[in-house]
Structures are given as structure tokens and as C-alpha cells.
């Protein structure tokens, strides 16, 4: 039984090393045609380009930035004219390149729950105030139920909105 903590530490070390190795392998791979990418090229634009790679060669990468995503049943942007949606970027100008790791909901769900809880607490607290002689105790009686309902509602909205996980990748040169 004395070896249990040492064995547990060994298992944790192997798990951490395996995760680091998987991230290093993912970081080392280059993007391919059809991959969704986020590119930082400060010589061309201060914000990042986000799109799907249409073609790539030794000198340039062409990405389609007009992909429309649906969030909560609504389109997130307009469909652009082909002339403006395809962007050609010289590989020498790219400082950082990230590949989409898929949809994620963790951060958006947490932010939604926290924001919803605060809004719910304020609304239910104010709704619990009487018209005559209100005080802090009246407000505080509505806060707990507002926190719970707001957090639940905010978490549902955050889950629906979601986000995208970005994994660093090597720039093909």
C-alpha cells in the first residue's frame, strides 16, 4: 500500500507526457487543402484571417473567407462575392497559423452561466422589491433564485453559441 502514491504519480507523469507529445505532433503538422485555418499576417491586416484553404503551394496560400457558420439557427455573416471572399496570402508574410480543432462549448458555456447568473440575480432581486420602503433584504431575497435560473439559462445559450478550438500549426515554407 506504500507504493500507491508513487504509482499514482508515475501514472500522472505518463498521462502528462502523452498529452504533451500529442500536442507537439499536432503542432508540427502543416495545413492541407480543405483545412479551416486562422492566419495572422500583420503586413496585410491587423486582425486574423479565418477561412478554409482552397490551394497551397511553395509561395502562396489561397483561403476562402466566406464560409457562413450557423449559430443558434442564424447565419453569422453574409455570403461574399467570389472576388472578395478568396484571399491570396504569401507564406513569407504569415507569422502565426492555427488549425481548427473543432467545435468547443466549455468556455462559452461557462461565460454564459456566469453572465446569466449575474443578470438573473439583478432582475429577480429588483423584481422582489416592494413599492413602499424597499431595503437590501428585500433585494437579497430574490437573488438566490435569480442566480440559479440565470445560470441555467445562460449556460443553455452559451452551449448553443459554442466556439472553435484553435491548435497551433507550422507554416509551410
pLDDT tens track for 31-84: 889 899 999 999 988 888 889 999 999 899 999 888 766 666 666 666 667 677
Tell me whether residue 131 is in a domain. Answer: yes
Report in angstroms the alpha-carbon separations of 25 from 28, 30, 37, 159, 171. Answer: 5, 10, 17, 29, 14
Tell me whether residue 19 is in a domain. Answer: yes
Tell me whether residue 12 is in a domain. Answer: yes
Query: Taking the chain, what is the end-to-end CA distance rounded to the nearest angstrom?
Result: 54
Reported pTM = 0.61
Tell me whether residue 80 is in a domain. Answer: no
Q: Domain span at residue 119?
A: 106-161
Tell me whether residue 69 is in a domain. Answer: no
- Compute CA 160 distance to the chain's CA centroid, rounded to the nearest angstrom: 12
84-108 residue pLDDT tens: 788 899 999 999 999 999 889 989 9
Tell me whether residue 52 is in a domain. Answer: no
Q: What is the total count of domains within the chain?
A: 2
Amino acid at each position: 500500500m506504500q507504493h500507491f502514491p508513487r504509482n499514482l504519480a508515475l501514472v500522472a507523469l505518463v498521462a502528462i507526457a502523452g498529452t504533451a507529445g500529442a500536442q507537439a505532433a499536432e503542432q508540427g503538422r502543416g495545413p492541407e487543402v480543405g483545412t479551416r485555418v486562422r492566419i495572422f499576417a500583420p503586413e496585410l491586416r491587423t486582425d486574423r484571417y479565418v477561412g478554409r484553404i482552397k490551394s497551397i503551394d511553395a509561395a502562396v496560400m489561397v483561403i476562402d473567407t466566406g464560409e457562413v457558420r450557423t449559430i443558434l439557427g442564424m447565419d453569422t455573416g453574409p455570403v461574399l462575392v467570389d472576388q472578395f471572399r478568396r484571399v491570396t496570402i504569401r507564406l513569407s508574410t504569415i507569422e502565426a497559423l492555427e488549425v481548427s480543432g473543432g467545435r468547443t462549448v466549455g468556455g462559452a458555456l461557462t461565460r454564459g452561466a456566469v453572465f446569466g447568473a449575474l443578470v438573473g440575480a439583478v432582475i429577480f432581486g429588483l423584481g422582489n422589491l416592494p413599492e413602499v420602503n424597499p431595503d437590501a433584504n428585500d433585494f437579497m431575497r430574490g437573488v438566490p433564485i435569480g442566480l440559479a435560473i440565470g445560470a441555467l439559462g445562460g449556460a443553455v445559450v452559451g452551449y448553443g453559441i459554442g466556439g472553435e478550438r484553435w491548435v497551433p500549426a507550422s507554416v509551410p515554407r
